[in-house]
Amino acid sequence: MKILKFGGTSVGSVESIKAVLSIVKESYDAGEKPLVVLSAMSGITNLLTKMAEDAAEGKPFAEDLKLMEEKHFEVVKKLIAVKFQNPVLTRLKLLINELEDLLQGVTALKELSNQSKDLIISYGERCSNYLVSKVMEQEIPESEYINASYYIKTDSNFGNAHLNEPLTNQLIQALSQTHADKLLFVTGFIGSNEKGRITTLGRGGSDYTAAIFGSVLNATAIEIWTDVNGMLTADPRIVKKAFSLPLLSYTEAMELSYFGAKVIYPPTMVPAFMKKIPIIIRNTFQPKFSGTVIQFESGKSAYPIKGISSISEVSVINLTGSGMVGKSGFSGRLFTLLAREQINVILITQSSSEHSITFAVNPNDSQKAVELIQNEFELELLANKLSMPVVEGDLSILAIVGENMKRTPGMSGKLFHALGRNGINVRAIAQGSSEFNISVIINKEDLSKALNAVHDAFFAELKKTLHVFNIGTGNIGSTLFSQLNKQHDFLEEQNDIEIKVVGISNSRRMYFNEDGIDLNSWKEELENDGEVADLATFISKMQEMNLPNCVFIDNTASKLPSTYYENIFQSNISIVTCNKIANSGDYSQYRLLHETARKHGVDFFYETNVGAGLPIVRVLKDLMMSGDRLLKIEAILSGTISYIFNNFKGDASFYDVVKKAQELGFTEPDPRDDLGGIDFMRKMLILGRDAGYPIESSDVELGNILPESCLQANSVDEFYAELLKADDYFNNLKREAEEQGKVIRYIGSLENGKVSISLQMVDESHPFYALSGSDNIISFTTERYKERPLVVKGPGAGAEVTAAGVFADLVNVGA
């Protein structure tokens, strides 16, 4: 049997509960006889604590209680069939009423004991497990809710109760016999004392519940389902290149968690360790990803260390004294004293002269530690055998961890070389006697740099390999492939960059090859060895493959891919795209995507969204980042319309010129996007947003170049048919311009956050008069470029220049 434990975020919302249900069902259907342990819905434990504390202070709690009720009721209403809802709502309501009575009691007594607090908090797990068991019951009738406080027996240390192992073993054994054919949903975190009063198990309590049940029932595995892809080589918020670890030993997991990685709280796992039951950390939101297995043996690994962890804030206390420090008995007295007062000593180093001891503690404990030392060693201080303790703050700890370190010489050399070369000063060093970890204390301001440098030293290969998943194999996609193919050797030899295209999809077929798809024959491979395309599958397959330096390229014109961008960033994958849809939809989406990419330390590059390969997005970004302020943009950003008005001369018919623009690959897949101004508008929106204005498409004043009949066309064919009939309309426009010695230009402007695009007739004196071919032109007037604006001009559409722009974005990923 297997234990499946889901944390609060996994049962945090209707959507996540659906994911939980399908994971449980899959396991059940596979005959794994799972036992499910659930935490409270995310946010509920904190809310319960707050209500309890508020009640004790006589503050109102009714609104919070209502919030809790609504959060649970919403799940019932969305996930339970109407005819089964009533009993579930009634029982939940009863639980909430009980809770309300308790809170009123606390209000009346103006006092909150630890015992009452545990009881109040227990409602979080009781509600979530009852609720989810009822939702599951619709599909698996054997589902049953179990209140674990009847089975996990503890002492009366409320808030952090200790297990009564023999009794708990008996009770759980008995439960498993009476409920052998049930699918149990067991409340995490709670137990009860010998009088049956509810207790809680302290930090990481639900994991502990899972470990206790797993150990008593001899589970084959304990799966801890959370919201990250297992344990990583380093904190991904700081180290972009961090990747998830397939395998760790218990010891390594302990060491990594001790210094930072908060995925599990190892002390809670001890029951599982004792029985050598593997613990598997998995991601509820990416269930196909295999996660991190934590087991007895460390296993083989390509790298000499498993990971790098850190504590970002520590204080260090230095003790020196010729007659004292280092003498036997001194450190014994010192550390017994600190332990007795519950001060956690994170790391200890001792100089070889043995005249000094340095140890690190949580900054909140440093003052207390100093006072304790002053009291304990008063006589020694008076006699000058010991100097006054000196505290240093603003320090961090970095540790490299791995069991194989012991067998690999030169590990500390490599560590110090990486730190030294990057100018990072090491304040103290400690190697655990087990040699499973080497820790260094450094200045806090160096931590991020140090983590990245050390990660590079231990994990990076010399050559950067980019793993590319590309969707869209039309005009741009196929041109990109032939450019990549041509440049392959040059990039590798001259720039140490290898680009491996490992996944390709168009709207019909998709194909993967982890070793890299041969770009001479991608078409045939896609056709013959590929499968029927499905974007959701393509993306989850990409995430499952979990390759380092992974880039998703969107070379489609479709909206669908943009709905996955957030999820892609969340799995630490960068995106390069020429597709403008994501950036030009709702402003809120634009913000969300940029923030998500930033938060996950990945790149979001879209130079070709504006002016194809011309450096426009980058130029604006550089201006903004260097503190310039945009005053005005004036631009022609439709390559298609530019081409059309530059070639609509003499006898040429407007219709023929448009057809030609499409043939030349300037137009969007649907040319109405170009001629209707939508494509231009998207570009202006993107620039405006990049310049800091929260504009929506409805804010844009969009002038029109087409007669009504063309605007009304329902299909591309109908559009061309109407265009053919509209010759007179365009000839009149042309004549009018020619008579005044002018040319027709479709010009966009952005000033004070207002965007407008309009058809204008301009004469020789206008800077946009002399434009040719499919050229785009943009002039940026800024605080610095005020007298003479910064102008970028050149071909702004076409497959070659666009693919080249995507290519340039690609090689800059991770740079």
Ligand X SMILES: NC(=O)c1ccc[n+]([C@@H]2O[C@H](COP(=O)([O-])OP(=O)(O)OC[C@H]3O[C@@H](n4cnc5c(N)ncnc54)[C@H](O)[C@@H]3O)[C@@H](O)[C@H]2O)c1
Ligand Y SMILES: N[C@@H](CCO)C(=O)O
Tell whether residue 612 is a contact of ligand X (CB under 6 A): yes
Sheet containing 437-443, strands listed edge to edge, beginning at the edge strand earlier in sequence? 345-350, 356-361, 307-320, 390-401, 437-443, 426-431
Rounded CA-CA distance 213/576 in Å is: 46
33 or 689: whose CB is closer to ligand Y?
689
153 or 672: whose CB is closer to ligand Y?
672
- Which of 12, 611, 639, 665 binds Na ion (CB under 5 A)? It is 611
Rounded CA-CA distance 583/588 in Å is: 10
- Which of 537, 586, 593 lies closest to 566, judged by CA? 593
85 or 507: whose CB is closer to ligand X?
507
Instruction: Tell me if residue 627 falls in helix, strand or coil.
Output: coil
Tell whether residue 668 is a contact of ligand Y (CB under 6 A): yes
- Which of 674, 690, 775, 809 binds ligand Y (CB under 6 A)? It is 674
Q: Which of ligand Y, Na ion, ligand X, none does residue 616 bind to, with CB < 5 to 8 Å depending on kind?
A: Na ion
CB of 497 to ligand X, least distance (A): 23
Tell whether residue 107 is a contact of ligand X (CB under 6 A): no
Rounded CA-CA distance 487/464 in Å is: 15
Q: Are 810 and 466 in contact (CB under 8 A)?
A: yes
Active site residue 275: no
Subset of 489-548 contacting ligand X (CB under 6 A): 505-507, 533, 535
Tell whether residue 614 is a contact of Na ion (CB under 5 A): yes
Tell whether residue 207 is a contact of Na ion (CB under 5 A): no
CB of 277 to ligand Y, least distance (A): 56
Tell whether residue 638 is a contact of ligand Y (CB under 6 A): yes
* Residues in contact with ligand X, shown as a per-residue x/- string from 778 to 797 under the rule CB under 6 A: -------------------x
Q: Which stretch binds Na ion (CB under 5 A): 49-57, 118-126, 139-147, 605-613?
A: 605-613
CB of 674 to ligand Y, least distance (A): 5
76 or 616: whose CB is closer to ligand X?
616
Tell whether residue 232 is a contact of ligand Y (CB under 6 A): no
Three-class secondary structure assignment of 143-190 = EEEECHHHCCEECCCCCCCCECHHHHHHHHHHHHHHCCCCEEEEECCE
Q: Which of ligand Y, ligand X, Na ion, none does residue 603 bind to, with CB < 5 to 8 Å depending on kind?
A: none
Tell whether residue 472 is a contact of ligand X (CB under 6 A): yes
Rounded CA-CA distance 191/169 in Å is: 13
Rounded CA-CA distance 489/249 in Å is: 41
Q: Which of ligand X, Na ion, ligand Y, none does residue 505 bind to, with CB < 5 to 8 Å depending on kind?
A: ligand X
Tell whether residue 476 is a contact of ligand X (CB under 6 A): yes
CB of 773 to ligand Y, least distance (A): 12
Rounded CA-CA distance 763/778 in Å is: 18
Q: Tell whether the torsion through CA atoms of 26, 28, 34 and 37 is positive or negative.
A: positive
How far apart are the two ends of the chain, measured CA to CA in Å? 47
Rounded CA-CA distance 610/620 in Å is: 11
Helix (H) or strand (E) holding 680: helix 678-690
Q: Are 757 and 748 in contact (CB under 8 A)?
A: yes
DSSP letters for 555-568: ----SGGGGGHHHH
Q: Which of ligand X, Na ion, ligand Y, none does residue 260 bind to, with CB < 5 to 8 Å depending on kind?
A: none
Rounded CA-CA distance 584/578 in Å is: 12
* Residues in contact with ligand Y, shown as a per-residue x/- string from 795 to 814 under the rule CB under 6 A: -xx-----------------
Which stretches within 14-61 are classed as H helix? 14-29, 44-56
Rounded CA-CA distance 759/777 in Å is: 15
535 or 761: whose CB is closer to ligand X?
535
Tell whether residue 716 is a contact of ligand X (CB under 6 A): no
Q: Are 100 and 40 in contact (CB under 8 A)?
A: no
- Between the CA of residue 341 and those of 160, 320, 335, 687, what are the distances in Å? 17, 22, 10, 59
Tell whether residue 27 is a contact of ligand Y (CB under 6 A): no
Rounded CA-CA distance 431/305 in Å is: 14
Measured torsion, CA atoms of residues 520, 524, 530, 535, in degrees rounded to the nearest 10 = 70
Tell whether residue 608 is a contact of ligand X (CB under 6 A): yes
Residues that contact Na ion, how many (by CB under 5 A): 5
- Reduced DSSP (H G I as helix, E B as strand, rest coil) percent helix, strand, coil of the chain, to 5: 45, 20, 35
- Which of 470, 543, 583, 667 binds ligand Y (CB under 6 A)? It is 667
Tell whether residue 616 is a contact of Na ion (CB under 5 A): yes
For the chain, the C-alpha Rg in angstroms (whole number) is 33
Subset of 522-541 contacting Na ion (CB under 5 A): none
CB of 431 to ligand Y, least distance (A): 57
58 or 669: whose CB is closer to ligand X?
669
CB of 637 to ligand Y, least distance (A): 6
Tell whether residue 402 is a contact of ligand X (CB under 6 A): no
168 or 556: whose CB is closer to ligand Y?
556
Q: Which of 2, 306, 683, 734 is catalytic?
A: 683
5 or 682: whose CB is closer to ligand Y?
682
Q: How many residues does the chain have?
A: 815
Q: Which stretch binds ligand Y (CB under 6 A): 112-120, 375-383, 432-440, 666-674?
A: 666-674
Residues that contact ligand Y, how many (by CB under 6 A): 11
Residues that contact ligand X, how many (by CB under 6 A): 30
153 or 580: whose CB is closer to ligand Y?
580
- Between the CA of residue 330 and those of 20, 335, 386, what are the distances in Å? 54, 9, 11
Instruction: Tell me if residue 309 falls in helix, strand or coil.
Output: strand
Q: Which stretch binds ligand Y (CB under 6 A): 51-59, 446-454, 547-555, 663-671?
A: 663-671
Residue 778 tokens, joined: 């943009």
Q: Which of Na ion, ligand Y, ligand X, none does residue 614 bind to, with CB < 5 to 8 Å depending on kind?
A: Na ion
- Between the CA of residue 479 and those of 342, 514, 574, 607, 789, what are the distances in Å? 65, 22, 21, 17, 34
CB of 749 to Na ion, least distance (A): 18
365 or 775: whose CB is closer to Na ion?
775
Tell whether residue 607 is a contact of Na ion (CB under 5 A): yes
Tell whether residue 679 is a contact of ligand Y (CB under 6 A): yes
Return the amino acid letter for 712. Answer: Q
- Which of 436, 666, 719, 768 binds ligand Y (CB under 6 A)? It is 666
Tell whether residue 669 is a contact of ligand X (CB under 6 A): yes
Tell whether residue 676 is a contact of Na ion (CB under 5 A): no
Partner residues linked to 5 by β-bridges: 37, 224
Rounded CA-CA distance 199/206 in Å is: 13
Residue 633 tokens, joined: 């943009």
Tell whether residue 578 is a contact of ligand X (CB under 6 A): yes
500 or 683: whose CB is closer to Na ion?
683
Subset of 579-618 contacting ligand Y (CB under 6 A): 612
- Which of 802, 807, 809, 810 binds ligand X (CB under 6 A)? It is 802
The site for ligand Y (CB under 6 A) is made up of 612, 638-640, 666-668, 674, 679, 796-797
The site for Na ion (CB under 5 A) is made up of 607, 610-611, 614, 616
The site for ligand X (CB under 6 A) is made up of 471-477, 505-507, 533, 535, 555-558, 560, 578-580, 608, 612, 639, 665-666, 668-669, 797-798, 802
- Residues with catalytic roles: 683
